[in-house]
Amino acid sequence: MLETPEAVRQWARERQRLGQRIALVPTMGFLHEGHVSLMHEARARAEAVAVSIFVNPTQFGPKEDLTRYPRDLEGDSKKCEAAGVSVIYAPQPATVYPPGYQTYVNVENASKGMDGDRRPGHFRGVATVVTKLLALFRPDVAIFGEKDYQQLQVITALARDLELGVEIVGMPTKREADGLAMSSRNSYLSPGDRQRAVALSKGLFAAQAAAKAGETEVAKLIDLARAPLVAAEIREEYLEVRAVGSLAPLTRLENGVQARMLMAAFLGTTRLIDNLSLP
C-alpha cells in the first residue's frame, strides 16, 4: 500500500520502465461490487492496476457527510487483492492538501446545474483530486462508473482540456437485484428506506421504456419517473433530461441526440443519485 506521492511516482516510473500499461481506478473506499467491476475492466485494459482510496474533503460541503462517510480500509484491501489490483494508494488528507495548498481545478460548463448547483464547490474538489491523481500515476487509462454521470463528464472534460494523455472510460452502473444503483451511501439506509429507495430506478426504467415506445416529450417522461418517488414519499431534489456529452437541458428527444435522465433524491438525510440513458 502506498501512502505518499513520492512512493506513487516511484511505482509508476518502474511500471513505465517495464513497458507496462497503467490503469487507475479512483475511489473513496467502502468498496462494493460496482467498484470491483471497474477493477476487472482495468485489469482487461492494462498490466498494472492502481486503486486510490481517499475520502476527499474538498468535495464535501460544510453540512455534508464527510465525518460519517463509511470507511473500511481492511475490507477494501481484500477486495482489491481478490480483483488482481497491483497497488493501492491510500494517502492522508494532509498529504494530498499540505499546509499552504492553494491550487484548484474548475471545469466550467460540465459543473453547472444538477449536482453543481446543489453542492457548491463539489466538482471543484472532484476535479482537483482527480487531476492530482492523474498527474501522479500518469495512467494510460482511468476507469469511472456512470452512476456519477455528471462527475464523469467533468473528468472527461478536464482530461481533454488539460491534455493529460489519459483515456477516460465510463462503465455502466451496477445494480442490486431489485434495480437500486449500488452506492456506498446505501449503507446509511434503514430497512424501510432501503425498500423505498427502489423507486428511483423504477421511475428511470419507466421513463426509458416509454422513450423506447416512442414518447419524445421530456415533460411526460419526467412525470413517469417522478410518479414512483411521489408514491414512496421520497423527496426529489432534481429530475432532468440532458444531452449526453454537453449536458445541455432537453425538452424533447430528437433523432441523433443521445439523452440521459438524471435524478437526485433524499430518503431522510440520505441523498442518492441515479441516471439512465434514453433512446
Active site residues: 35
Determine the residue type at 270: T
Cell of 71: 470507511
User: Using alpha carbons only, what angle is made at residue 235 by residues 233 and 197, rounded to the nearest 5 degrees?
Assistant: 65
Strand pairing report for 48-53 and 270-278: unpaired
Cα(229)–Cα(226) distance, integer angstroms: 5
3-state secondary structure of 267: strand
End-to-end CA distance of the chain: 43
- Say how many C-beta atoms besides its own lie within 10 A of residue 258's C-beta: 12
C-beta separation of 52 from 80 below 8 A? no
Burial class (CB in 10 A: 0-12, 13-18, 19+), 102: exposed
Cα(188)–Cα(184) distance, integer angstroms: 8
**Residue among 198, 199, 216 nearest 278 (CA):** 216
Q: What strands, in cross-sheet order, belong to the sheet with 141-145? A: 87-89, 48-53, 22-27, 141-145, 167-171
Q: What strands, in cross-sheet order, belong to the sheet with 235-243? A: 235-243, 259-267, 270-278
If you search the block for the grid coordinates 434503514, which residue do you land on? 190
**Residue among 12, 128, 10 nearest 60 (CA):** 128
